[in-house]
Amino acid sequence: MARIKGAKNGIKGNKVNKEAFEELCRLQCTEGEICGVLRVSHDTLLQWIRQNYGEDYNFKKAFDMFSADAKMSLRKTQFKLAENNPTMAIWLGKQYLGQRDYIEETQLARIEIIDDVPIEDVDLDV
């Protein structure tokens, strides 16, 4: 593996592809998955994030910035699907409008328990 310009002596670095990182965040990949795909360690990724997005950034802050795009896109797709899919429309109504299924309970028959068996007729040794 070739040395990256600016890496400390004796340390071989991996370049993190900014577009790939941002796309993996949009796909809701975990930090471990992102490190695996980009072939970098957790520490290398955190250092790269601070260098590219600012010293006050950590993984969560960078991830949230790009994963918001994915959530918005998914929500948009769901609303589009609801136009032709009644199941999706019902689900969205429950999620966003507080709608719910009402179950009507009815009593079909009344059961009456009669306890008129004399105690001496009951076999207690069973």
pLDDT at residue 11 is higher than 90: no
**What's the rounded Cα separation, in Å, for the pair 73 and 92?**
15
Higher pLDDT, 86 or 116: 86
76-105 burial code (b ≥16 CB/10 A, e <16): eebeeebeeeeebeeebeeeeeeeeeeeee
Is pLDDT larger for residue 107 or for residue 8? 107
Q: What is the pLDDT of residue 104?
A: 80
Instruction: Give residue-wise pLDDT tens across range 37-81.
Output: 999 999 999 999 999 999 999 999 999 998 888 888 888 898 999
Contact (CB, 8 A) for 73 and 66: no
Strands (E), 52-117: none
Q: How far is CA 71 from CA 38, 60, 75, in A?
A: 23, 15, 6
Query: Average per-residue pLDDT in the chain?
Result: 82
When pLDDT is cut at 50, 70 and 90, the band that residue 1 belongs to is very low
| Residue, of 121 and 40, whose pLDDT is higher | 40
Give mean pLDDT, residues 95-119. Answer: 77
Are 105 and 63 contacting, i.e. CB atoms less than 8 angstroms apart?
Answer: no
What is the C-alpha to C-alpha distance for residues 29 and 23, in angstroms, rounded to an integer?
A: 9
* Angle, alpha carbons 35-41-52 (nearest 5°): 75
Assess whether pLDDT exceeds 90 at residue 36.
yes
Rounded to two decimals, the pTM is 0.56
Residue of higher predicted confidence among 3 and 27: 27
